[in-house]
Amino acid sequence: MIYIVIRQTTDWSNEATFRAQIPEGFRPSVELWNATFTMPYHIYRRELKRIAQANLARIQHALCVPRHEVPEHAPVVPTDDDDWFSPRLATVLEEHIDGHHVGYYWPRAFIEIPTSLRHRLGLIRRRIFPRTPPRWICTTNNYAVMFHGDTAPLIGNHVEASRWFTAHPHVVKRLDEHLSVMNRTLGSRTSLSPTPTKAALVRKFRRYKELYRRAVSPELSWCEPYVAAMRDLMDQLEPHT
């Protein structure tokens, strides 16, 4: 059995609960969103979570649990509440778990548009020089660890996980199959920080509508149903007239 732990457990359906949890630095972005779009921010995030939950339900031999319910020495995969996994996630991991390796990771994959000029230049560089190593081995959901005292902190922070994987190459194994996608949406904090202008947010919204109409690469064909669901969601999201 593979255990999946969702880092963020916000109740997006409850606006009062959500508003009480908004970090002060992010509050202006939420207010801008609500002033710009007919669908409130917490409802948009609720729908992102619903799509991700439909994805998780298709993974056989995987159980989504709170972190404190993960058994000692069990394989655990962390994720955010809006990202996706291949239905083969548990099958592939179980084939490779060997009692020697403590960490496992697989190719990073993103559905996104550039969030900044620096990000855009980095994407261009990777297209021109595909062998360019990433800054971080681990992103939000492209790694697994065998759960115990030393690896427990790696679940909550992909940067710390990347540092640990780099420092312990003898117990880390790379898998070749694309087992996850990081769906960096219009509603992600990265997309909305720093708080954009209303005009910039609307421009980014239009680019995202186009993004989910693009064909996915063959190795990510398993995520086509979720891309289609995102396309429908973006069609429901409309700027105020």
**Cα 201 from Cα 195, distance rounded (Å):** 9
Strands 84-85 and 180-183: antiparallel
3-state secondary structure of 222: helix
145-200 confidence digits (pLDDT tens) = 999 988 999 999 999 999 999 999 999 999 999 999 999 999 999 899 999 999 99
CA 217 from chain centre, in angstroms, equals 18
Q: Number of C-alpha atoms within 13 angstroms, CB side, residue 48?
A: 25
Domain boundaries, the chain: 2-236
Count other Cβ atoms within 10 Å, centred on residue 11.
Answer: 13
What are the structure tokens assigned to 117, written together? 């000029």
83-129 confidence digits (pLDDT tens) = 999 999 999 999 999 999 999 999 999 998 876 656 555 555 666 55
- Residue carrying the six token digits 């239905």: 87
